[in-house]
Amino acid sequence: MSDQVTAMVKQLRKEVPDCLASGVVDMATGMLLTYETTDSHPTEVLDLLAGATLDLFQGRTVTMIEDIFKERRGIASTEHYFQEILVNSSNLTHLFVRNNQHDDVVAVVVCPKSVNIGMLFAATRRVIKEAHAF
């Protein structure tokens, strides 16, 4: 799977408009599997990205919200509700997308805040869908 993940990260950088960085986080291990960026970043920042992604999708409060929704709707599934999360910082947009087939794997794409959000979602979803092993 690692070759396919690496290829997908490269494809995200190439095809997502204005993409500054892309990567893949394995939430089962809490590790950043691979990344590609236009800039150099301290290792500790990259390590924190994996932890932040884990908190966004599977933090205690998030899982409580998912459990309440499932209980109220009578759903017994282990599927996660939160599939995509968009975060805007002062000058960047971060898109986190959970894989439908491997829900412990999340792709991360970082673009300038000026990015066309529709194009960001469309290109990211297309590349992830085409990456069969992801």
Count up the domains in the chain and report the number. Answer: 1
Range of the domain at 100: 2-130
Confidence class of residue 12 from pLDDT cuts 50, 70 and 90? very high
Average pLDDT over every residue of 108-112: 96
**pLDDT given for residue 1 in this prediction:** 60
Distance CA 95, CA 84 (A): 7
Q: Which of 23-27, 35-39, 41-45, 110-114 has the lowest mean pLDDT?
A: 41-45
- Determine the distance from the C-alpha atom of residue 39 to the mean position of all C-alpha atoms in its chain, rounded to a whole number: 19
User: Is the CB of residue 2 less than 8 Å from the CB of residue 32?
Assistant: no
Q: Say what the pLDDT of residue 104 is.
A: 87
Residue 6: which CATH number? 3.30.450.30
pTM across the whole model: 0.89
- What is the dihedral angle through the alpha carbons of 79, 84, 87, 93, rounded to the nearest 10 degrees? 150
| Helix segments in the chain, DSSP class H | 2-15, 43-58, 60-73, 117-130
Structure tokens at 63: 């899982």
Q: What is the pLDDT, as a whole number, of residue 77?
A: 79
> Mind listing the pLDDT tens digit for each residue in 44-101?
888 788 999 999 998 999 989 988 988 898 888 777 878 999 999 999 999 999 987 7
| Cβ atoms < 10 Å from Cβ of 32 | 19
Report the alpha-carbon distance of residue 5 to residue 13 in Å, rounded. 13
**pLDDT tens across 27-39, in order?**
888 899 999 998 8
